[in-house]
Amino acid sequence: MESASNDVTKLDQQHAVNYHKQLKSKKYQNNVGNRIPPTKDNGKATTSNANGKKDMVCYCCGTKGHTKPFCKYKSYSCSNCSKLGHLKKVCKAKVKKVNNLEQCDVDLNLDNLFNLETVNVNYVQPYWVKLSVEDKIVEFQIDTGSSMTVINVNDLKNYEIKYLNRVEQSNVRLKTYNNSVIVPLGVLKVRVQYKDVCKELEMVVVKEGGPPILGREWLTKLSIPMFSGTYSLCKLTSYQNVLQTFPSVFNDILGCYKHKMFDLILKKDFKPVFLKPRVLPFALKGKVSDEIDRLVNTNLLVPVETSDWGTPIVPVKKSDGTIRLCGDYKVTLNKYLEIDRYPIPRVADLMIVFQGAAKFCSLDLCQAYQQLVLSEESKKLTTISTFKGLFMFNRLPYGIASAPGLLQREMEKLLSAIPGTVCFYDDIVIAGKDDKELSDRLYSVLDKLSLAGLTVKKEKCNFFTDHVTFLGYKVDKNGLHIPDERIKAINNVAIPKSTQDVKAFLGLVNYYGKFVENMSTIAGPLYALLKNNTQFVWNAIQSKAFSKIKESILSNKVLVHYNPNLELIVASDASPFGVGAVLSHIMPDGSEKPIAFASRTLSASEKNYAQIDKEALALVFAIKYFHQFVYGREFILRTDHKPLVSIFGEKKGIPLMSAHRLQRYAIFLSGYTYKIEFIKGLENGNADALSRLPLSVIGSNDIECDNFFINMVTTNIKSIGDLDICNEIKKDVVLRDVFIKVFTENWPDNSKDVSLVLKPFYSRRLELSIEQGCLMWGHRLIIPPKYRKQLLQELHSTHMGTVKMKALARSYLWWPGMDSEIECITKECKECLILSDSPPKSVLHNWPWPEGPAQRIHVDFLGPVKGMMFIVILDAYSKWVFVKRMLNITSSSTVMVLREYFATWGIPAKLVSDNGPSLCSVEFETFLKNNGVFHIKTAPYNPSSNGAAENLVRTFKNYLKKVISSTNNKDCIDTSVLKFILSYNSTKHCSTGFSPAQLNIGRSLFTSYDRLTPFAKVNYEKSLVKNKNWYRGNRNKEYIVGDLVMCRNYTGGDEWVQAVILQKLSPVTYDLRLGDGRIWKRHVNQIIDCGLVVEKEVSTDQNINLEQEEVIEEKLEVTEELGKDVFDSQKDTCVSTERPKRVNKAS
C-alpha cells in the first residue's frame, strides 16, 4: 500500500510540488469529499442561517456583515495565488486538501488498497493528459498514487460518453484518506487511444467527485511517459538505496583489494639504485611532511632504516591544495622492471559497448593504485627517500611503470563478465537500455567491487543519468558528442601567433577529428606551418582553415553508436589531392547516420595515378581504415566511379585483364563480404568533401608500391635497366613481332596460323600488355633472350631451391621455358649438390620372409637409460623377443649374450645389426664366422634398414620409461623386463596374426596348444603391404655399376661426396668407390643423382676385381662342420660355400 503521508515526509519542497497535484478548477474544489456545496442567492454567499445580515460572510475578505459585490477588496489581487477578487486570508489555494481514495474488495477485508491523492503545497499546476475515450477527447489529471482510473457521471455526460446500461456492477470500494468509504456506481469498459496505442480498458464510475483521474494502470498499458518530477524522485530514491545497500563500497576509508597481492618483477641484470632526497621548496615542505604523516597513519607508508633502493619524491599539488606524493621511479626502479604489457583498450572498442543504451551510471575508484597491495619483496623496491627518512609503500604507488597494466588487467578480469560495463583504469561506466536493466548491472558491479574490497568516490559518481562523460566524450542514447566545456574551450582559442600555438590548437582539436567531415583536409594549411624549415606566416588560407575547424566542432554533430544489427555503408571518394571515407548506418527510419569519418591526402606518386586508380585507392583506404567494423560481416560499398562496380563487383572474379594495381586491389577486397553500389557524385557529398583539399602525408598505410613493376627489376639487377630491356625487345625478332601484335591487337584467329615460337605468347594474348615500352604478361615483365641467363644467375645467387626460385621469378619475370631453365640451373650447381638435403625416401623394401624360426635375427642396443644398457634380439619369423640388461656393451659381453641365446634357440642363419663398434669388431665377426652365421650390416646412419629391431627398441624403451618413473630398483626393473618379454611373446603380432610363441615354439603360452596355421604367411605378407604403404616412400631408384652419384658423407667435411657404383648388394644397398679409393656401403636413401656431366669411368684394374671377389667370398663363407662347438670362437674352421637346409620347427 502506498501512503501519501509517508511520501510527503520523504520529499523536499521542490520534489513535493512535482509529485502531488492541485485540483484543476474551482468547480472540482467545491465538490471534493463530504463537503456541502455552497448555494448562491443574488450574488450573496450565505451560511445555513441566511435570515440575518449579521451572519453574512464575504468571500473576498472573510469578514461578516456584507457580501462580495459590496466588498471594497473585490478588485484586489491575492498575494498567495495572484488571482483577482479575494485576499490571502480567505484564499482556498493555501488550504491543504487531501483527496485520498482507496480501493478494496469487500471479500478481502479491505486489504487491497489504492490511492487517489491530491496534496497542495504552495499550489503548483497539476499535470494533465488528453486521451481519446470512445472517440471523445477527455482531459485527465495524472495521479501516480492511484492504481485505477476514475471518472464521475457529470463528466461522462459533458464528454458525451455513453454509459447507460454499460456500467457493470463491481465490489470495488473507494476509500478516502480519512477512511471514509465511497461506493462507486460500477466499472465501465471503454476504448482508449493514446498516440499509436489503442486498448480497451476499465475505469471506475462515481456519482460525483473531482476531475477525471488517470491511474497507474492506464499509465502503464498506454505507455504514457512520466512527468519530470516523478523521475527526479525515483533517481533520488535509487541513489539512497544504492548507498544503503553497499555501504562498504562508498566508505570514506581507502579500500584494499582482496583477491591477490601484486609482484613487481625485476629484470635479470638489475642493479639497485639509491638516490638521496631532493631539496624541496620551503612552501611545500610542511605540506609534504603532513602528507607523509597521513600515509604512515593510514598504513600506506612504513618507515624503514636501511634499503638498497631509494627513490626521490616528486610532490604534486592537487586542485584542492593538498599534496600527492609520487616517487620519481623512472630514474631508479622503472628501468629495471619487467613492464606488464597488458593491452589498454582503444576508445573505439570501449564506445561499442554503449550501443542501444539510454541510461548510464559512472563510478570512480578512490586512489585506485593504492588499493592494490604489494607482496613483501615488492614493497622493498618502492622505498622513497625523503627529508624525514626512508619509507616503503605497502600499496602500489603512483609512478610505477607496471601500475597501469596491472590495474587494467585486474579491473577487466573483475568486471568483464557484466554486460554493458566498461572500465578504463579507475573509471567505470555502466549502461542499460532502461532503469531496470541499468539497476541490475549496477548492483552486479557494486557487488563485485564489494567482494573485492574496493571503494569509490561518492562525489564523483553519477547514477541513472541520461548521459555520461567518458574519455572526453559525452555519451547518450543518440551517440557521441563533444562535451560542452570542450566546445567552449575550443571556441575561446585565440588566433595562433607562433608554431607552438598551432601545435597546441591542433592537439586540442585532433582528438575530435572524427566529428569533422573533412578534418584532415581542412587542417592542411595549418599542418603546412609545422614543416621543417618553414617560416611561420599566417594569412587568409590559414585563417579560413582555423575558422572552419572551429565552426565544424561548434556544430556539435552527433556520431551514432555502431550497431551490429543495422545495415552498414562504407562510402569513399577521391579528388586529385586526397581520398575520403564515411562509415554510416541505415537507421530503422531509412535515414543514414554517420558513425565515423576518415580522410588522408595522396602522396607524390599517388597524385600521378589515373583517376580510376585513385578511386580504387579510396575504396581500399576506406576498407583498411574501418576494417574492425566491416570484416566478417556484410556491408554496402559505395563509389561514384562506375567502372569500379564492374571490376570489383562481389560476383566478379579477379580481373586478369585489368592493370596490375587494380588486380592487387581486387585481391585485397576479395577478403571482405560486400555489395558494391554506384552513387552519383552529387549524392556522395560526405566522402567527396573529405577528398577536396591537399594535406601533407605524414605516413601512409596503403598497400601501394610507388615504382612500376619493371622498375623492381632495376632495383635488384643493377646492370640491367628498363631501357635496356625495351631496346632489346625491339632488336629481338620474336619479341618485336609480339610487341606489334599486342599494340595493334592483330593476332590470328586460329592457333594453327601461328608459328611455333609464337604459340606461348598466343595462348596468353588476352593478358599481354605494353607498359612504358616493355612487354608485360599480367604483372610480369617479359625478358628478352639476351638477359635471361644473367637473370637466372641472379635468381640463384642466394642458392635457393627450385620452388623458391620459381616463386620469386613468377612474381616479376616470364619467358617461354623459364621454369625448365630454373630446374636445370639448380641441378647443375655443384655447391647446391654438395650441401643438398637427403633425397626423398625410396620405396620401402621388405626383408624376405624367413623359412622358419631362427633363420634371421635382428640385434640392437638400447640405452643408456638411467645408466643401464640393454640388448634387444628379435626373431624375424616368429617376432620372438629377447631382452637382457648388460653391464656394458663390449664385444665380449655381446658374444656371451649371443652364446646364451644360441644355446636356447639354436644358431641363426643370418644376423642383422647396425654398424656399432661392438658389432663390427674382429672378435664379434670371428664368433659369427666360426658359428656359420652370415652377418648383414645395414648402411651406416640409416637405422630404418634394421627397422624390425628399431621398432622393438622403441616399444621397449617406452615401456621402460614408465617402469623407471615408478621405481629405480634395478631388481624390480629386471623383473619388469621379464614381464615385458612374457607379455610380448604371448600377444598376437599385427604382422603375422599369431603370437611369437605360437610361431617360435608351436604353442601358445596361455592356451593348451595352437598349431601353426598356413595363414601366418598370408597375414605377414598383408602386413608387409600395410607397412610399405605406411612407410610412404615413393622413390623406386635403381643404379647400375659405373653410375656416377653423390653419396652421404658422415666422416666430416662436405655432406655429399662423389662416388661410383661398384656393386649392388641388395635391391636397396650398394658398395661405392670414392675418388681416393675408399669403398663405402650406402643405402639408396643415402644416394642422389649427380647432375654434373662427366665421363663414366670403367676400371680395368685387377685389384678392384680382386677386392670384389674377396667381398663376395667373405659373405658366402659358412662352416662345413655343423657339429663343431658353437661356443668355440677362437678355433679356425673350414669354410663351405653352401649351408645345409634347416628344418622348420613350427611346421
For the chain, the structural domain boundaries read 33-94, 102-225, 282-477, 480-554, 567-689, 711-827, 856-1031, 1044-1116
Fold of 711-827: Endonuclease III; domain 1 (1.10.340)
Residue 240 pLDDT exceeds 60: yes
Domain 567-689 has CATH 3.40.50.10490: no
Kindly provide the residue ranges of all beta strands, DSSP E only, lying in 1036-1139, ordered along the sequence.
Answer: 1044-1048, 1056-1066, 1069-1074, 1079-1083, 1087-1089, 1118-1119, 1135-1136
Confidence at residue 428, expressed as pLDDT on a 0 to 100 scale = 92
Chain segment 53-102, per-residue pLDDT in tens: 456 778 788 887 787 777 867 767 676 776 777 877 778 764 433 333 33
Q: Name which CATH class applies to 1044-1116.
A: mainly beta
Looking up cell 640393454 gives: 870
- Burial 941-973, CB ≥16 within 10 A → b, else e: ebebbbbbbbebbeebeebbeebbeeeeeeeeb
Identify the DSSP state of 365.
B
Q: Name which CATH class applies to 282-477.
A: alpha beta
Supply the CATH classification number for the domain 856-1031. Answer: 3.30.420.10
Whole-angstrom distance, CA of residue 1011 vs CA of residue 1007: 11
SS3 507: helix
Chain segment 500-558, per-residue pLDDT in tens: 888 878 876 776 666 776 666 677 788 888 877 778 888 888 888 888 887 777 665 66
Average pLDDT over residues 585-598: 80
Mean pLDDT of the chain: 75
Contact call for residues 468 and 363 (beta carbons, < 8 A): no
Contact call for residues 768 and 777 (beta carbons, < 8 A): yes
Residue 891 pLDDT exceeds 80: yes
Residue 1062 pLDDT exceeds 90: yes
Give CA angle at 668 (763, 809), nearest 5°.
45
**At CB < 8 A and 24+ separation, what contacts does 47-50 make?**
none
Q: Residue 1137 region, left (φ>0) first, then alpha (ψ -120 to 50), else beta?
A: alpha
Q: Kindly report whether the peptide bond that precedes residue 996 is cis, defined as omega within 30 degrees of 0.
A: no
Nearest to 774 by CA among 818, 822, 724, 819: 724
856-1031 has the same fold as 567-689: yes
Chain segment 1076-1121, per-residue pLDDT in tens: 999 999 999 899 988 654 443 434 344 434 444 444 344 334 333 3
Fold of 102-225: Cathepsin D, subunit A; domain 1 (2.40.70)
Chain segment 746-782, per-residue pLDDT in tens: 888 888 888 888 889 988 887 788 777 788 887 788 9
- Most confident range (mean pLDDT) of 317-326, 341-350, 636-645 is 636-645
Dihedral angle over CA of 153, 156, 158, 162, nearest 10 = -120
Confidence at residue 536, expressed as pLDDT on a 0 to 100 scale = 84
